[in-house]
Structure 1
Amino acid sequence: MVEQTFTFHLGTKIVFGKNAASLAGEELSFRGHKRVLIVTDKGIINAGLLNVILKSLDKHNIDYVIFDEVPPNPPSATVVKGIEVFNSNHCDSFIAVGGGSAMDCCKAISMMIVNTGDINEYDIGGKEFTKKGPDVITIPTTSGTGSEVTQWAVITNEETHWKASIGSPHMAPAVALVDPLLTMGLPPTLTAATGIDALTHAIEAYTTKGALNGTSPITDALSLQAIKLIGENLRQAYSQGENYEARKNTMLGSMIAGMAFPQIGLGNVHALAHPLGGYYDVPHGVANAILLPYVMKFNLVACPERFADIAVAMGENITGLSVMKAAEKAVEAVERLIKDTNIPTLSSFNIKDADLERLAEDALKDGNCSANPRKTTLQNLIDIYKQANNIKLESTSELQTV
């Protein structure tokens, strides 16, 4: 038997724990930086979450400029504007403060400071980055995307509505300051959506084609631990926002999932979620949370043993059950979590029936679809959208036989 070789990239220093954000100035000073661009959004500023960071910068005599114009599902135009702000203010480094949108946008801006062309050219399979941009320090304020430790960014092409997955080892942040205190004021709705987004990362990473081939044992261990942490703590973080231990453990699970999925890929949940964000501006975490149980049901037959493991990690008792029955427990556990955290329905976003085929066509072209454990057709994706959008399927639907 030939021993398999695997690789694992993680070029980011991680500082995790209470008051980690207060080390921003120290980390920049250590690297010789003098003037930093803070990439964030107005909600972060209004919530006062920059205060501890700015105090740290002042303490270490670091000048700063604030770019607070990052929207959800950031478009390429925001990247272009960020480049202009960075260059015109003679900055030498970055701090990204916020959720995945701010961190993704910041990483993309950094890369385009030193690489040529348009950010949209660097989608998977396109142009490759040749240089590493100025240092980025990521400071997440949600427990969901894991972007603080990934070498990927998702940027929307405004003209095509395509959400491009753009990545390179050069894109890995220099430092991630992961401070659970910054999530203490996160509203319940955002806590739920971002938490199940992180759970989706872990579940998909544990069930990709690559994971089934045994190509990433480190990723397997990280994914199961992330599922356990999120499954045990998200309800408390959602319902008891002041519960620091629940916040801390949910954030740890999110970060660990972020360490896992870039190594091995994702699957149909993300492939289907991206067009919903691109065309309908559905928040990414919400889209993932809505779609997750439907995709899990579709994928069960491809890797029931893996879903049985997920059930155990979610705290389910599978003693005496067949493998398929144990696998179904994973879906049931996720459905209960979604119900308990009041995730909205897809139909609440007024998705037009006539758009489902176009959305599915984009999903099929998404690189995550090719990593899904079960081979997927266009009709499969249309049917999953229909199920999630509460549209009755035809009796011949393949999904109904799974």
Structure 2
Amino acid sequence: MHDPETVWDFAMADQLKFGLEASTELGDELEARGVDSALVVTDEQLRETGVVEDALSSVPADLEVTIFEGVEPDPAVDVYESALEAAADVDPDAIVGVGGGSSLDVAKVTGALADTDRDLLEYVAPPIGGGEPVPASETVVFALPTTAGTGAESSPAAVVSLPDRELKVGISSRHLYPDLAVVDPLLTVSLPPSITAASGMDALTHAIEAYTTRRYDTKKSVEHASERANYGGRTAMTDMYAKQAIELIGGSLQRAVNNGEDVEARRDMALGSVLAGIAFTNAGLGATHAMAYPIAGENHTPHGVTVAALLPSVMRYNASTAYDRYGTIAELLGESLEGASDREAGERAAIAVESLCADIGIPDGLAELGVEDDDIPRLAEKTAEIQRLLIGNPRRVTTDDLESIFADAL
């Protein structure tokens, strides 16, 4: 058995194209891959804004394009099935996801499963699904994010909502990486302030949790192969991406919220989101994301807002195990550590996050999201079952610990 401290994997999308007006090269990329027909996966509201047409402006007129605009926030199984039916109808050479994390997740799964006839949940890990491995597919998948936050364009996973069970589950496989991620910050300029704030805090949480995960052997720690992805805790490589992401997001999120046409801020947010996505899809996440899933499942709260409300309390809980890491986070977010003890350094990191949340209009605590005291024991029990995320948390958490963190976050 290898030593997880010295041997680790690192993976990302096959190709990344980043920069202002990067989307204008989409047509060239499609032609280079011999694509004659494409299914565009997006949502109706985004299409009405004209952003989808902007993203597709360079696609050659003779390339057959079909648009599926049935994606909804937190897509449930029926949304994925509808997209797969659309793909079966047109048999495209490529799937092009345009939108936020939901659209990109649906696009990735549609591309990977277009040639299969299995039920979608068979690819979800037990006990919900059968844990079947996601097959390799010849369908090319492109991802064009229009938000700066989810990291879906650089992620090997997709989230599926199960409303009848008040639950969110994931499908994870290296075959879900897009073949090409095209990140054009100009596609995010029209993003409303509230979504800019929420998606930005999601990206910041990705970076902070990736930077503070503990190193572990995923083969020993996570029972089912479909839950492993390439998580294994932080490495020198993920640290590099995560720290740069924290600094970029910390320095640009408030500016992007206050002035959506600040192109420099939009560029820094887009880059920070990509880097955070690469970091967390290799290092894994922690208690913040694990705790957010049952809240979102029950209260249908926006993911970015939910993790933002939880993050400072989780940071305070974890700081005693990783003072040096949280001190670095505080400095990256602009806090001075002069004269600060180790404990104070950890506290200043949490305060910096709280201040940023207040400045961009994120709700102050879980109570504003509808969470009540009586909900806490149930939420803690549900969170304790999400070991694929909790295993990477820098400090071990029991159900009682989770109850305390939830209470602090109210």
TM-score, normalization by structure 1: 0.91
Q: Tell me the residue number matched to 1:396.
A: none
Deviates more, 1:320-329 or 1:34-43: 320-329
Q: Tell me the residue number matched to 1:228.
A: 247
- Per the TM alignment, residue 216 of structure 1 is displaced from its structure 2 partner at its CA by 1.3
Structure 1: stretches of 5+ with no match in the other structure: 390-402
Correspondence for 1:237 among 256, 259, 273: 256
- Per the TM alignment, residue 39 of structure 1 is displaced from its structure 2 partner at its CA by 0.8
Q: Tell me the residue number matched to 1:370.
A: 391
- Per the TM alignment, residue 224 of structure 1 is displaced from its structure 2 partner at its CA by 0.4
Q: Tell me the residue number matched to 1:264.
A: 283
Q: Tell me the residue number matched to 1:210.
A: 215
SS of residue paired to 2:60: helix
Q: Tell me the residue number matched to 2:121.
A: 120
Q: Tell me the residue number matched to 1:393.
A: none
TM-score, normalization by structure 2: 0.90
Q: Tell me the residue number matched to 1:246.
A: 265
Aligned residues: 388
Q: Distance in 1 between matches of 2:272 and 2:16?
A: 14
Equivalent residues in 2 for 1:94-173, closer than 5 Å:
94-124=95-125, 126-132=131-137, 134-173=139-178
Q: Tell me the residue number matched to 1:394.
A: none
Deviations 1:182-216 (A, max 9, x none): 11111111111111100000000011112899851
Opposite residue 11 of structure 2, the aligned amino acid is: H
Deviations 1:114-137 (A, max 9, x none): 345322232346222232362111
Residue 358 (1) aligns with residue 359 (2) = no
Q: Distance in 2 between matches of 1:250 and 1:269?
A: 21
Deviates more, 1:196-205 or 1:18-27: 18-27
Percentage identity across paired residues of the two chains: 38
**RMSD (Å), alpha carbons:** 2.0
Q: Distance in 1 between matches of 2:201 and 2:104?
A: 19
Deviations 1:265-287 (A, max 9, x none): 00011101112222221111111
Change (3 A) 1:387 1:321: closer
Deviates more, 1:357-366 or 1:74-83: 357-366
Contact kept, 8 Å, 2:19 with 2:183, in 1: the verdict is yes
Contact kept, 8 Å, 1:115 with 1:129, in 2: the verdict is no
Deviations 1:40-64 (A, max 9, x none): 11121111101223332234x2211
Q: Tell me the residue number matched to 2:229.
A: none
Q: Distance in 2 between matches of 1:173 and 1:166?
A: 14
Contact kept, 8 Å, 1:34 with 1:92, in 2: the verdict is yes
SS of residue paired to 1:64: strand
- Per the TM alignment, residue 361 of structure 1 is displaced from its structure 2 partner at its CA by 2.2
- Per the TM alignment, residue 237 of structure 1 is displaced from its structure 2 partner at its CA by 0.6
Deviations 1:350-377 (A, max 9, x none): 2354443333222211221221111111
Contact kept, 8 Å, 1:222 with 1:260, in 2: the verdict is yes
Q: Distance in 2 between matches of 1:277 and 1:133?
A: 34
Equivalent residues in 2 for 1:3-402, closer than 5 Å:
4-59=6-61, 61-124=62-125, 126-132=131-137, 134-210=139-215, 216-345=235-364, 346-366=366-386, 367-389=388-410
Contact kept, 8 Å, 1:219 with 1:260, in 2: the verdict is yes
Q: Distance in 2 between matches of 1:198 and 1:68?
A: 25
Q: Distance in 1 between matches of 2:290 and 2:138?
A: 28
Q: Distance in 1 between matches of 2:4 and 2:175?
A: 31
Q: Distance in 2 between matches of 1:223 and 1:211?
A: 18
Opposite residue 113 of structure 2, the aligned amino acid is: M
SS of residue paired to 1:12: coil
Contact kept, 8 Å, 1:132 with 1:171, in 2: the verdict is no
Opposite residue 400 of structure 2, the aligned amino acid is: Q
Deviates more, 1:335-344 or 1:114-123: 114-123
Deviates more, 1:88-97 or 1:196-205: 88-97
- Per the TM alignment, residue 2 of structure 1 is displaced from its structure 2 partner at its CA by 10
Contact kept, 8 Å, 2:147 with 2:199, in 1: the verdict is yes
Contact kept, 8 Å, 1:150 with 1:258, in 2: the verdict is yes
- Per the TM alignment, residue 28 of structure 1 is displaced from its structure 2 partner at its CA by 1.4
- Per the TM alignment, residue 250 of structure 1 is displaced from its structure 2 partner at its CA by 1.0
Change (3 A) 1:2 1:17: closer
Opposite residue 290 of structure 2, the aligned amino acid is: A
SS of residue paired to 2:169: strand
- Per the TM alignment, residue 320 of structure 1 is displaced from its structure 2 partner at its CA by 2.9
SS of residue paired to 1:327: helix
- Per the TM alignment, residue 257 of structure 1 is displaced from its structure 2 partner at its CA by 0.4
Opposite residue 40 of structure 1, the aligned amino acid is: T
Structure 2: stretches of 5+ with no match in the other structure: 218-231
Deviates more, 1:155-164 or 1:18-27: 155-164
Opposite residue 20 of structure 1, the aligned amino acid is: A
Q: Distance in 2 between matches of 1:264 and 1:341?
A: 28
- Per the TM alignment, residue 140 of structure 1 is displaced from its structure 2 partner at its CA by 0.5
- Per the TM alignment, residue 106 of structure 1 is displaced from its structure 2 partner at its CA by 1.3
Change (3 A) 1:386 1:118: farther
Contact kept, 8 Å, 1:144 with 1:196, in 2: the verdict is yes
Contact kept, 8 Å, 2:200 with 2:273, in 1: the verdict is yes
Contact kept, 8 Å, 1:211 with 1:264, in 2: the verdict is no
